[in-house]
Amino acid sequence: MEAVGEGVAVGPGLTGRKAGDIVVYAGISMDSFTEEQILLANKVVPVPSSISPVIAASVMTKGMTAQFLVRRCFKGSLACLKTRGYTVSFGRSSGTPDPLPLSGLAPKALFLTRPSLMFYTETREELLETAAEVFANIVSGVLRVRVNHTYPLSEAAQAHAELRVKKHLGHCIDTVKQMYSYQLY
């Protein structure tokens, strides 16, 4: 769901980007298990020179998800909510919730939501704003990112098998000889 790379070319008429730029994407599947790919320019974010590409690749989905949840949603569970309170199911990180009849929300006029990163970064402005806050938190030291293990791309199957059995906690990165390259259109 996330990858970082160095641009090798840009599409005709594209401004503001050039070959050699380092960019990252997250939250959408764009076939990141490849050495080169063609990406939509409005779906990638420039990586600041103060952030290493490996850190950018490891943090974008989690970091931007946390950013929009903290900024735009409320924490809690149904039992502890005040009247008109919100409860948020975080998807895979929360696990599948038990079925809940809508009538269970009525006694306190509660709200239930299941947000997803792709809907909070739909516009270019939202994507850049969210990524900028994540990068700023890394640079300021508020967010400390540790990459626990890297695998060559040829060992992607092993990396996924080890992640499934929780051999590694934290971030694991698949790498190629050089950073991913992309063509922006």
Return the pLDDT at 137. Answer: 92
Range from 19-23, 65-69, 173-177 that averages highest in pLDDT: 19-23
Helices within the chain (DSSP H only): 53-72, 117-120, 124-140, 156-164
Domains of the chain, first to last: 2-62+144-184 (3.90.180.10)
Please tell me the pTM assigned to this model.
0.65
Token couple for 134: 């994540």
Angle in degrees, 0-180, between the axes of helices 124-140 and 53-72, rounded to the nearest 10: 110
Give yes or no for a contact between 136 and 128, defined as CB atoms under 8 angstroms apart: no
Q: What is the pLDDT of residues 153-169, one digit of tens each?
A: 788 788 778 777 777 66
Q: Residues of 78-106 as b/e, b for ≥16 C-beta within 10 angstroms?
A: eeebeeebebbebeeeeeeeeeeeeeebe
Give yes or no for a contact between 147 and 171, defined as CB atoms under 8 angstroms apart: yes
Range from 14-23, 130-139, 163-172 that averages highest in pLDDT: 130-139
Return the pLDDT at 48. Answer: 95
